[in-house]
């Protein structure tokens, strides 16, 4: 453990406006990272305690999920005060200390900005619902009932049922794309935009380096409130919502991904550009046109710097042909855009279960797909515990906290299984996360995967991540270079990354059987350290789950 705790301060961060391009961002879900005060819930001081570990991984930035004041109906994604820390997580002084320590260690801080909706106890909503003519009456999306008393249209909530909730005070419906306790803000109102930009400035002044913009494509709705058309069954997919959710039955062209959003994103970017090196990554939840939305939101240098869609977060197993299709499609529709790729986050089943459960060698498979992720053109998000290979925890119904899982149990078990506490030391109570019973139980099967077990073991997944992140940093082509696919053959895929005079060939066998792939000639290609394949007659021959990297001299 000494290698982590003895780390010296990194040089002061230079104001590099382009730092985000190719950055590796480590997501921390604060409730489950480290409990510092013995209440069973992780907090900001706990994150500070673990920042040396994060820095030791070799990542560039830390994305912290919401820690603002909240009634916690959706565990922080329902904000009641945008300018303060919920006492459960600490204080503003704790946050300032976190930013200072992160910067000392060479880490940038990205915070989760949840501005498409608020909590229903937010003062803005309390005023808005009080009458139809108060100063904030138009700050949320209100609509009259149809003549028969039903909601104004057929829009659905991601959490199930109608996206409209009747309010007895105003005798109107209000829009909520998520829980009924999460009313949607009305971005067509300029005052709402101004207020949210003021919130953004508040955190920039406190030293944050960027924002993860939750549900970025949900900001605007069609003011005509038209019904969404039905999707034919063959066009439905479960990228944005689980298959048991009727949300997937509609083509959501009127309730999200509206063209009006582009002008607001330009206002947002103009604010970011007032600061030395602030950046943003947006979450795009759109099952039908996600890559196109990412392309539009990141085009040029006047909107957000990067976004991610759900192409690799969906249940469908990653495969060589899909990787090529997604990357080439994005390259075609987003000539000057930038994506941030992720296999895991706080909303989806962990890939160690989602994809690796049936693999003969789970560890080898997780190593090869992680190397693939960190070799793609784009920035990268890693979710806490991904570097340990944590599986989706199996929880009983009695242990569930997530309203999404409670609503759709047992066909969909919600998001608690990927949110259980981080396991630091299998020799300590609750894996070293807390001295008391945690808010979600520590999965017994996670204890053998703890940091204490893996650290220093060269064959472990944790050390694989550290080695690969160091390798990636040594090669600018892997960070910011262009990508050119050389071929796909079954489970094998090969592409070239090029930046300046550096051209690196990257090849992967995602399968459990030996494979070969043609890289278009092998002359002049020098294998790099860590390659597990062999070049023969212009083809790379792999064993199972092989990776191969070579520099073209």
**Are residues 497 and 423 part of one domain?**
no
Q: Which of 192, 158, 195 is nearest to 175 (CA)?
A: 158
Q: Characterize 42-80 residue by residue with b for buried, 16 or more Cβ atoms within 10 angstroms of its Cβ, and e for exposed.
A: bbbbbbbbbbbbbbbbbbbbbbbbbbbbbebbbbbbbbb
**Are residues 251 and 105 part of one domain?**
yes
Q: Which of 129, 473, 483, 104 is nearest to 324 (CA)?
A: 483
**Are residues 413 and 547 part of one domain?**
no
Q: Which of 435, 396, 442, 436 is nearest to 419 (CA)?
A: 442
The whole-number pLDDT of residue 523 equals: 65
Whether 356 maps to a domain, the answer reads yes
Catalytic residue among 6, 148, 205, 274: 274
**Are residues 216 and 75 part of one domain?**
yes
CA distance 296 to 305: 11
Distance of CA 454 to the CA centre of its chain: 25
The whole-number pLDDT of residue 221 equals: 98
Whether 154 maps to a domain, the answer reads no
**Are residues 452 and 328 part of one domain?**
yes
Catalytic residue among 74, 86, 214, 402: 214
Q: What is the DSSP track for 109-168?
A: EEEEE--SB--TTSHHHHHHTT-SSSTTTTSB-EEPPPTTS--SS--B-TTSSBSEEEET
Domain endpoint, select from 423, 446, 473: 473
**Three-state secondary structure readout of 296-322:** HHHCCCCCCCEEECCCCCCCCCCCHHH
Asked whether the beta carbons of 219 and 187 are under 8 A apart, the reply is: yes
**Are residues 502 and 369 part of one domain?**
no
Could you tell me the CATH number of the domain that includes residue 528? 2.60.40.1180
Could you tell me the CATH number of the domain that includes residue 229? 3.20.20.80
The whole-number pLDDT of residue 14 equals: 57
- Structure confidence by residue, pLDDT tens digits, 321-358: 999 999 999 999 999 999 999 999 999 999 999 999 99
Asked whether the beta carbons of 265 and 304 are under 8 A apart, the reply is: yes
Q: Which of 283, 287, 247, 284 is nearest to 159 (CA)?
A: 247
Whether 328 maps to a domain, the answer reads yes
81 belongs to the catalytic site: no
**Are residues 323 and 300 part of one domain?**
yes
The whole-number pLDDT of residue 179 equals: 96
- Structure confidence by residue, pLDDT tens digits, 52-64: 999 999 999 999 9
**Are residues 429 and 538 part of one domain?**
no
238 belongs to the catalytic site: no
Whether 303 maps to a domain, the answer reads yes
Domain that holds residue 508: 481-552
The whole-number pLDDT of residue 526 equals: 82
**Are residues 286 and 353 part of one domain?**
yes
Whether 169 maps to a domain, the answer reads no
The whole-number pLDDT of residue 538 equals: 83
Joined tokens for residue 381: 């998000």
User: Taking the chain (553 residues) in consecutive chunks of 10 residues, what is each chunk's mean pLDDT?
Assistant: 46 76 98 98 98 98 98 97 98 98 98 98 98 98 98 96 98 98 98 98 98 98 98 88 90 97 98 96 94 96 96 94 97 95 97 97 98 98 98 96 90 94 97 98 98 98 98 96 96 97 95 93 74 83 94 79
**Are residues 403 and 497 part of one domain?**
no
**Are residues 529 and 452 part of one domain?**
no
**Are residues 294 and 278 part of one domain?**
yes
The whole-number pLDDT of residue 6 equals: 46
Domain endpoint, select from 440, 473, 506: 473
Per the structure, the count of domains in the chain is: 2
Domain endpoint, select from 473, 507, 537: 473
Whether 102 maps to a domain, the answer reads yes
Whether 147 maps to a domain, the answer reads no
Which pTM does this prediction carry?
0.95
Whether 214 maps to a domain, the answer reads yes
Tell me if the bond preceding 271 is cis, omega within 30° of 0: no
């Amino acid at each position: 453990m000494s290698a982590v705790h003895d780390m010296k301060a990194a040089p002061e961060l230079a104001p590099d406006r382009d730092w985000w391009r190719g950055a590796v961002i480590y997501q921390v879900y604060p409730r489950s990272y480290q409990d510092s005060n013995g209440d069973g819930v992780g907090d900001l001081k706990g994150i500070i305690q673990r920042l040396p570990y994060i820095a030791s991984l070799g990542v560039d930035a830390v994305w912290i999920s919401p820690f603002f004041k909240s009634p916690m109906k959706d565990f922080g994604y329902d904000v009641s005060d945008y300018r303060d820390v919920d006492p459960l997580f600490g204080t503003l002084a704790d946050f300032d200390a976190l930013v200072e320590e992160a910067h000392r260690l060479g880490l940038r801080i990205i915070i989760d900005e949840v501005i498409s909706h608020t909590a229903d106890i937010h003062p803005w909503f309390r005023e808005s619902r009080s009458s139809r003519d108060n100063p904030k009456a138009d700050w949320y999306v209100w609509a009259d009932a149809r003549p028969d008393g039903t909601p104004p249209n057929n829009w659905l909530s991601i959490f199930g049922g109608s996206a409209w909730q009747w309010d007895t005070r105003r005798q109107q419906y209000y829009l909520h794309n998520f829980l009924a306790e999460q009313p949607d803000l009305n971005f067509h109102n300029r005052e709402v935009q101004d207020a949210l930009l003021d919130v953004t400035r508040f955190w920039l002044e406190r030293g944050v380096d960027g924002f993860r913009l939750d549900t970025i494509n949900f900001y605007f709705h069609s003011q005509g409130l038209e019904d969404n058309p039905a999707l034919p069954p063959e066009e439905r997919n479960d990228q944005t919502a689980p298959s048991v959710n009727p949300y997937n039955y509609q083509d959501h062209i009127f309730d999200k991904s509206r063209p009006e959003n582009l002008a607001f994103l330009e206002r947002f970017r103009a604010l970011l550009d007032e600061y030395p090196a602030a950046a943003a990554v947006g979450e795009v939840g759109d099952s039908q046109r996600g890559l196109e939305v990412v392309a539009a939101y990141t085009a040029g240098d006047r909107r957000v710097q990067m976004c991610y869609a759900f192409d690799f977060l969906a249940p469908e197993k990653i495969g060589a042909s899909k990787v090529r299709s997604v990357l080439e499609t994005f390259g075609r529709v987003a000539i000057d855009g930038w994506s941030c790729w992720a296999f895991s986050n706080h909303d989806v089943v962990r890939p160690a279960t989602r994809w690796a459960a049936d693999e003969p060698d789970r560890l080898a498979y997780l190593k090869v797909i992680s190397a693939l992720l960190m070799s793609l053109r784009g920035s990268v998000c890693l979710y806490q515990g991904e570097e340990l290979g944590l599986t989706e925890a199996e929880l009983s119904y009695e242990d569930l906290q997530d309203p999404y899982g409670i609503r759709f149990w047992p066909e969909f078990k919600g998001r608690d299984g990927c949110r259980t506490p981080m396991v630091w030391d299998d020799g300590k109570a609750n894996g070293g996360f807390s001295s008391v019973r945690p808010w979600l139980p520590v999965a017994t099967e996670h204890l053998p995967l703890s940091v204490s077990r893996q650290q220093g073991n060269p064959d472990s997944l944790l050390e694989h991540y550290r080695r690969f992140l160091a390798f990636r940093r040594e090669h600018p082509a892997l960070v910011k270079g262009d990508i050119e696919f050389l071929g796909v053959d079954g489970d094998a895929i090969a592409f070239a990354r090029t930046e300046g005079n550096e051209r690196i060939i990257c090849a992967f066998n995602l399968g459990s059987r030996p494979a070969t792939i043609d890289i278009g000639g092998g002359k002049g290609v020098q294998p790099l350290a860590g390659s597990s394949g062999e070049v023969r007659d212009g083809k790379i021959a792999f064993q199972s789950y092989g990776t191969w990297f070579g520099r073209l001299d």
